[in-house]
Structure formats: structure tokens, C-alpha cells
Amino acid sequence: MTIERVVPGDRRIRLALVGCGRISRNHFDAIARLPEMELVAVCDEDAERARAAGEGQGVPWFTAYDQMLATVPSDAVVICTPSGLHPAHGIAAARAGRHVISEKPMAISLAAADALVQACDEHRVQLFVVKQNRLNPAIALLKRAVERGRFGRIYMANCTVRWTRPQEYYDQAPWRGTWEFDGGAFMNQASHYVDLIQWLVGPVESVMAKTATLARRIESEDTGVAVLRFRSGAIGTIEVTMLTYPRNLEGSITILGEKGTVKVGGIAVNKVEHWTFADYDDDDKLVEQAATNPASVYGFGHEGYYRNVAAVLRGSARPDTDGRAGRKSLELILGIYESAKTGRDVPLPLRANL
């Protein structure tokens, strides 16, 4: 799709943001570090939260989304609301002629995701889905190793997310942990890891999963395991829990192949813990430099993601992760949930009504 409303290089890209909760701080910080962008307005239905964000960022604040869209000129809208509201907010932005930058996941159903993609296509605006962990230096090295064929045949891949979210986290907002607006550990906290494993290893043919709500008073799961069969024949696993004691322990991906073994770990795939290949490549000298030490599991990728957004909206690049790419990881998550519900191996692609 050829987008319209490319932003000229003689002015900054104007961003409005809706949803001033936990993740919005990462967006504010990233936007503030990029001279080619400026935040022009914020919105949240909670007046105190909207006021605090607006005054803190020095921009107008709103409690009515439609009013912000109608009042403040902007080039794009950043959507940081509960996951179940992303499609409605994105569609409204597209209809108002704004590009859409959606936090993960882009929706919690394929039908809603498809409606958002269609709206952006119809109004010829770009849809970006934030997948900042793809930009971690260690992950970038791993992606190049896969693309260069350094593993040979890949036999197995594993993602492990051993984090903690206490009951107080879920109690902070009534939508957290609900099926209607949030989903559970796979849909929310681990969605970046579901994205990484399919992005790095390739399309998934089928999935079998078990999930459980073991300790948190929520509708959705706090723990689960999925077994994947990739179209290549490789086997994969995703292990997720929000019950690690007493703090976040690990967010990792491991790939095992006939000619290489790599584990990228830390708390948020932020450092190479093992890197061995049969054949030398100059990237091997960059392994130690690729380590980062993020203050939180969100990492440092939002700034890099916004650099790509800026390049796309200037007309000089393609999006790192657009709506169709964001849909792929959503489909795998929904396949995991379908398998956990039915007890069956679920083939992909899914039917579109899930």
C-alpha cells in the first residue's frame, strides 16, 4: 500500500497519544529524545492521569478521545490503551486521517485486527504495531545469524518468560487480566516473545498448549506452556509465568541448530548468554557489545522503533512491523488459547472469526 500524508522534512512529526498508563512513559521518553518528533496532545478517560501526563509533558490533555482528534492537528496517534480497545481507537484515528501507532497486541481477536488493517488501508494511512524487542542489539545479531544460514537446519527453539506480576498489579485497573480487554500472560506480557520466535524461526504449522490460573485472581492465565511445530519441521516451546518469586528472572530465546547454538537472555532478551557456531563470522566480535542493561522489561527499543516510524512517514523507509506483521503473532497467541481451551493440536492459519 502506498500511504498518503507523508510528512515533509521541514517540520516535526506531530504525535498525539491516548492511554496515559504504565507503558506511556516509554513512549514519552522515546519521543522526547527524537528531535524530528513532537508530542502535541494526550488523552485518558481518567482525568487525573490525563492531567498529570499533559502537564508533565507540557501539552494539552483530554478525557474525550474524539475531542482530541477534532481539536489538535496531528500526523499520527499513539495507542496505549487496554489491548481490547486498540482496534476501536485505531479505526477512529484512521478515519480522522491519522497514521496509527499501536502498542502490542494490536487487538485480541483476528476479526478486530482485520477491521483495523482494513480501516488503515481504506484511509491510506500507515499502521505500525510496536515490537520493540526486535530492535535489541542482541536480537539483531541473532536475526542476522538466522538469515545468513549460520545455524544450518534449525532443530529446536525456546522462549522463556519467567516474570512476576503480583496481585496488586492486576488490581490497579479493572481491565487487567480480563478476556474482554487484556488476555493473560501470553497475550499481554509474553506477546513480544511469541512474536520473536515466529519472526526468527519461521511460520508455525500447529500448536499444542496448556494454560492455568494458579495464583492470581484474574479471568485469564498467569502461567502456560505451548509446544510449536514449525513448517520447517523444527520444534519449539514457549514457557510463560507471571508467578516467579520474588522478582523478574528471565526473558530469553534459545535456538539450536545443526551448526550453531545461541541463547539471548537477561530479563528481556538483552544480552547474549551463549553464542557458538561451526563457522566464523565478523558478527562474532560484536557479541559482548550487544549486551544492554534495561531498567525494566520494556527495554530500550521504543526509541529505535520511533526512528523507523519517522523514516516511514518521511517516505524513506518501510515499516519494521506493520499491521499484517502484528497480526501474525496475534494469530499464534489465539492458537495457543484455542488449544488450551479444547485440549487439541491446533493448525495454523486459524479461521478468521477467532
Digit-coded pLDDT (tens) for 68-119:
999 999 999 999 999 999 999 999 999 999 999 999 999 999 999 999 999 9
- Per-residue pLDDT, 297: 53
Beta partners for residue 77, in sequence order: 16, 100
Q: Where are the beta strands (DSSP E) in 110-259?
A: 127-129, 154-162, 204-212, 223-230, 235-241, 250-257
Q: With a cut of 90, say whether residue 251 has pLDDT above it.
A: yes
Mean per-residue pLDDT for 300-317? 90
Confidence of residue 292 (pLDDT cuts 50, 70, 90): confident
Q: How remote is the C-alpha of 339 from its chain's centroid? A: 22
Instruction: List C-alpha distances in Å: 135 to 79, 126, 203, 236, 291.
Output: 20, 20, 20, 22, 12
Identify whether the C-beta of residue 238 lies closer than 8 Å to the C-beta of residue 182.
no
CA distance 334 to 267: 25
CA distance 320 to 112: 21
Q: In sequence order, what DSSP letters do the residues of 60-118 get, joined into one string?
A: -EES-HHHHHHHS--SEEEE-S-GGGHHHHHHHHHHTT-EEEEPSPS-SSHHHHHHHHH
Domains of the chain: 13-131+302-321 (3.40.50.720), 137-275+330-347 (3.30.360.10)
Confidence of residue 214 (pLDDT cuts 50, 70, 90): very high
Q: With a cut of 80, say whether residue 132 has pLDDT above it.
A: yes
- Per-residue pLDDT, 20: 98
**pTM above threshold 0.85:** yes
- Per-residue pLDDT, 351: 78
Per-residue pLDDT reduced to its tens digit, 147-170: 999 999 999 999 999 999 999 999
- Per-residue pLDDT, 353: 61
Name the one residue in this structure whose C-alpha cell is 547474549: 272
Cis peptide before 203 (omega within 30 of 0): no
Q: With a cut of 70, say whether residue 4 has pLDDT above it.
A: no
> Residues 282, 283, 287, 288: what is their CA dihedral angle, to the nearest 10 degrees?
50
For the chain, give the percent of residues with pLDDT over 90. Answer: 91
Burial class of residue 60 (count of CB atoms within 10 Å of its CB; 0-12, 13-18, 19+): middle
